[in-house]
Structure 1
């Protein structure tokens, strides 16, 4: 596509308000990530490397490439790597994790025991580099489920191939484990350097990673009969319309009686009535009705 080639001048392209609106709406329609008007600078910065990598002249050219070029599908996956926010750590938001462990987990275990079902299925949606699903695996291991004949099945998903590749490696810096209790760090990690750790294989064996676009029903249909879904600190990046689509897709992936955890700053109020909000220890979880 010669029309897209960059000339040899050193001037960096500028994102005009008109093209920002087009790109913003295009990205929103593809993955739900929404850049508000005051985040124009952020989108401009995050896409610049992709424009330079493709030797394009302008942001408008980049939008044309994403729309019409034969390599657009591959480029969209690379774009997701560039625009995703991946702030996470092990044992993040311990209050919610305590609600999961002491307020939700016992009830689900008793219900499943009564049905003679000793499988436990979790989906960590938008799992980034793997800290959340691995945290959940360690909690279940601390409860001893794996030694009591239970099958633990955890899916970690993200739209970014880049973070999923990092999750598969299971290697982490000090910053990622800063909230991890010392006893847990010693038990389930191997220190590989002065400030680096690798998750032990006995933990990572319980987690499988998938590339899933939460807006895409054909993607979310790959995940079924989940007892619990964690979709924390994700909805804040979506419009209300997109939030509704995402949580409706998640609803279909939950088993009867399953529950959804969202972030502390997130709520399904005025988004959907599919779930029943339940207050547990100053936290809210959403049960499938």
Structure 2
């Protein structure tokens, strides 16, 4: 039988989720939080949500339990070629500028932060192929990072249903994906080759060290779920993740306007983006 989430339990969970994941859980989302926590509470046979939090923080298997719980608390909704205005700028302006600046033999390093099931990371690989940029072996490295291990497993599998292609047409899909017997679609080897996935929590210090300096970061529709402190922590981490002159694209509903990190804001028709200035500037 389902149990209630008390005022004190909600406060403790909201604080912990803010610290660990940067999530903002206002009182209006209390019942949503309860329904997302309930399956793990029931599966573990615990009597309260307080007991579930204690288990998550102090049990010897807390890391494994955390991995099981995170998918219930995060939104992993994405699809291929989402927010085309930004992607057009990347294809027509950013990739050519990087190719000229990095020169022959240079490697473009592109990052999908909070990559969910990998649609955005593979989109970046496809975008470079469509543009004819960084085509030499080893010239492109795309990394996807996410806090959800289940999402990363799906990303590494590289198989998708029709729902993931709602922003594309059938001819485009056939160019970059192979049809499967089960009705799904699998990323072609050439698209998959430059793409890697790893775990990272964007509100935790130092996550960027594992991926190295990036020339382009997409972090879209993530910080809308963060509280103010988490937005600041994430913005500082994204700054550290970018090489000098690197580009940062957020979602249409996201802004760093009031965040004290010295990004340069650039506007284009249908898109805006940030840059970490070149050190020479």
After TM superposition, the score normalised by the length of structure 1 is: 0.91
In the alignment, is residue 112 of structure 1 matched against residue 102 of structure 2? yes
Q: 1:174 aligns with which of 118, 137, 162?
A: 162
Tell me if 1:247 matches 2:235: yes
Q: Is the 8 A contact 1:213 1:220 kept in 2?
A: no
Q: After the TM superposition, which of the residue ranges 193-202 and 93-102 deviates more from structure 2?
A: 193-202
Q: What's the counterpart of residue 24 of structure 1?
A: 14
Mapped to 2, the partners of 1:143 and 1:181 lie a distance apart of 18
Alpha-carbon deviation of 1:163? 0.6
CA distance in 2: counterparts of 1:119 and 1:145, whole angstroms = 11
**4+ long deviations beyond 4 Å:** none
Partner of 2:23: 33
Instruction: Report deviation, 1:38.
Output: 0.8
Q: Secondary structure of the residue that 2:11 maps to in structure 1?
A: helix
- The residue number in structure 2 matching 1:46 is 36
Unpaired segments ≥5 residues, structure 2: none
Would you say the 8 A contact 1:230–1:260 is kept in 2?
yes
Normalising by structure 2, we get a TM-score of: 0.94
Secondary structure of residue in 2 paired with 1:217: coil
Partner of 1:67: 57
Distance 1:261 1:218 in 2: 20
Q: Per-residue deviation at 1:119? A: 0.7
Q: Alpha-carbon deviation of 1:117?
A: 4.8
Contact 2:96 2:133 in 1 (8 A): no
Give the CA deviation at 1:56: 0.5
Q: Aligned partners of 1:48 and 1:185: how far apart in 2?
A: 38
What is the DSSP-based 3-state SS (H/G/I as helix, E as strand, rest coil) of the residue aligned with 2:81?
A: coil
Which residue of 138, 151, 157 corresponds with 2:139? 151
- 1:86 matched to which residue of 2? 76
Map of 1:197 onto structure 2? 185
Q: Per-residue CA shift, 1:205-224, capped at 9, x if unaligned?
A: 11100011112223222122
Q: Find the aligned partners of 2:193 and 2:45 in 1 and give their Cα distance.
A: 41
Alpha carbons 2:108, 2:134 under 8 Å: kept: no
Distance 1:181 1:258 in 2: 31
Q: Corresponding residue for 2:200?
A: 212
Question: How far does residue 182 in structure 1 lie from its aligned partner after superposition?
Answer: 3.1
Unpaired segments of 5 or more residues in structure 1? Answer: 1-10
After superposition, the C-alpha distances for 1:85-132 in whole angstroms (9 at most, x for unaligned) are 01100111111111111132222222222xx55211011000000100
